[in-house]
């Protein structure tokens, strides 16, 4: 186990920085009480669904706990339990895809008095509240190691089988890595984050052996990095030919799958940057999220109600595309856009943020024309013959100064609204010209904007 005071080595030498790793481990290890609570609630949920299935004539369905609780790598305070109901292949994939299996599980939850809702990934699953915990109940088809999955969720029990022995004694290493990623905002494979799943964190520890060795390796990653724990692709260029992703991590239980397909280039780059920064200057701030330290720039906030019944991944995707499209439209009109982002609480609110140099442009703009001797210059001259200034030649090109048709950023956004998703079309457009105007936003939206305007909490001055 890691010593109480452990120096982090880099480039063959020991840095002057030391980190109290026992203090950090106390942040990422669940307490004994938490472990007992999680074990009890998980066992009760398995019993509820196992007995419910048996009572309904489906005793051949195997109910198990999966994910980080099964692997012993969950973080304190994250009381999420994954329960999988593995149906025999005789039920066929349509039992999952049609929702019949889910309806059966929902009926059991209702009979047990457990409130539930339906959520969607590749297939629908139940989310429920029980004993102070959130639990996902996921139907899948039971397959054996080496068999191709029939539905997207079938691999998960095989992941647990694969990791069972490989992670023994390394659970805290995984927890350190998960906490590290969480502080960077890159922990989670959902579309809204585009980061590293818990399974990816576990595979990285299998590959590199420890948290320290993982970040030492990751600081040298480059886009199109290949990690193939079981050596299914040799040479690695074969994996690059098959998978078109910034990061390629071959799923050991399904070589046809890139387990890192959800990781965006931005998330990968953040992990590389964090790894480099940590090896240069280790600090507890890499494991413990600090308060945001926002700078300020004028920004537009497009605020809309969360579309009822829409899966979160779909909403995040719409927000991401709208945010990028609107930022590009503003740039095309001459606005200086610093950055853009998006946010939703997945319940009631959704928003797009665009940080800018200014929310209003000057009345006039310089139009750069073609070379003076080109045929295209004739068209430019006809178009700008009545310009506010010019046309005139500077160097070898024609220029003209014209009055802008759109000066206000809100007006520019409104012109783009017809091509936006329905959710964005109904959005309120809020100008935020100073810090005080942030107070007009809801508490959760304001907190999201402050994080958006802040430098990463792990980035030390």
In residues, how long is the chain?
461
Residue 342: what are its φ and ψ, rounded to 5°? -150, 160
- The reply, when asked if residue 68 is annotated as ligand binding, is yes
Q: CA-to-CA distance for 71 and 443, rounded, in angstroms?
A: 36
Tell whether residue 154 is among the known ligand binding residues: no
What span, in angstroms and rounded, lies between the C-alpha atoms of 363 and 103?
Answer: 61
* Residues 118-152 as b or e (16 or more Cβ within 10 Å = b): eeeeebbbbebebeebebbbbbbbbbeeeeebbbe
- CA dihedral of residues 58, 60, 63, 64 (deg, nearest 10): 180
For residues 188 and 197, is the Cβ–Cβ distance under 8 A? yes
For Cα atoms 188, 192, 195, give the angle at the middle one, nearest 5 degrees. 35
Structure tokens at 323: 């945010």
What values do phi and psi take at 124, rounded to 5? -70, 150
13 assigned binding-site residue? no
The DSSP H or E segment spanning 208 is: helix 198-208
Q: Are 387 and 381 in contact (CB under 8 A)?
A: no
With beta carbons less than 8 A apart as the criterion, state whether 381 and 400 touch. Answer: no
Dist. CA 182–CA 54, nearest whole Å: 39
**Distance (Å, rounded) from C-alpha 25 to C-alpha 416?**
49
Binding site, annotated residues: 68, 80, 82, 136, 159, 178, 187
Binding site, annotated residues for Mg(2+): 80, 82, 136
Binding site, annotated residues for ATP: 68, 159, 178, 187
Binding site, annotated residues for CTP: 68, 159, 178, 187
């Amino acid at each position: 186990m890691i010593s109480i005071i452990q120096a982090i080595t880099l480039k063959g030498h020991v840095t002057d920085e030391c980190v109290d790793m026992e203090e950090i481990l106390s942040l990422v290890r669940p307490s004994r009480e938490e472990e007992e609570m999680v074990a009890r609630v998980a066992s009760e949920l398995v019993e509820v669904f196992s007995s419910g299935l048996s009572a309904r004539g489906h005793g051949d369905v195997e109910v198990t706990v999966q994910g980080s609780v099964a692997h012993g790598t969950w973080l304190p305070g994250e009381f999420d339990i994954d329960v999988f109901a593995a149906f025999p292949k005789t039920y066929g994939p349509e039992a999952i895809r049609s929702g019949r299996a889910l309806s059966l599980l929902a009926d059991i939850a209702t009979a047990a008095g457990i409130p539930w809702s339906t959520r969607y990934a590749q297939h629908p699953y139940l989310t429920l509240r029980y004993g102070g915990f959130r639990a996902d109940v996921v139907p899948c088809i039971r397959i054996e190691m080496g068999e191709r999955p029939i539905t997207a969720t079938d691999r998960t029990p095989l992941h647990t089988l694969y990791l069972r022995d490989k992670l023994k004694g390394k659970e805290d290493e995984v927890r350190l890595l998960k906490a590290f990623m969480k502080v960077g905002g890159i922990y989670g494979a959902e579309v809204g984050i585009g980061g590293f799943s818990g399974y990816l964190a576990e595979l990285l520890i299998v590959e590199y052996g420890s948290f320290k060795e993982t970040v030492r390796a990751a600081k040298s990653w480059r886009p199109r990095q290949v990690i193939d724990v079981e050596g299914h692709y040799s040479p690695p260029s074969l994996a690059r030919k098959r998978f078109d992703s910034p990061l390629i991590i071959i799923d050991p239980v399904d070589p046809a799958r890139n387990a890192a397909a959800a990781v965006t280039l931005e998330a990968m780059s953040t992990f590389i940057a964090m790894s480099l920064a940590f090896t240069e200057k280790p600090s507890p701030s890499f494991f413990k999220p600090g308060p945001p330290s926002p700078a300020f720039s004028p920004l537009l906030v497009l605020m809309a109600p969360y579309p009822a019944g829409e899966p979160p991944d779909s909403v995040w995707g719409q927000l991401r595309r709208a945010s990028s499209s609107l930022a590009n439209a503003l740039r095309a009109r001459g606005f200086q856009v610093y950055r853009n982002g998006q946010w939703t609480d997945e319940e009631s609110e959704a928003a797009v943020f665009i940080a800018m140099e200014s929310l209003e442009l000057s009345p006039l703009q310089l139009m750069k024309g073609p070379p003076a001797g080109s045929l295209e210059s004739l068209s430019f001259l006809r178009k700008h013959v009545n310009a506010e200034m010019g046309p005139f030649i500077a160097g070898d090109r024609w220029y003209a100064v014209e009055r802008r048709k759109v000066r206000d950023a809100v007006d520019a956004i409104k012109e783009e609204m017809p091509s936006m998703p329905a959710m964005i079309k109904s959005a309120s457009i809020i100008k935020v010209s100073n810090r005080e105007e942030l107070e007009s936003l809801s508490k959760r939206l304001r907190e999201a904007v402050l994080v958006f305007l802040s430098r990463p909490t792990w980035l030390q001055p």
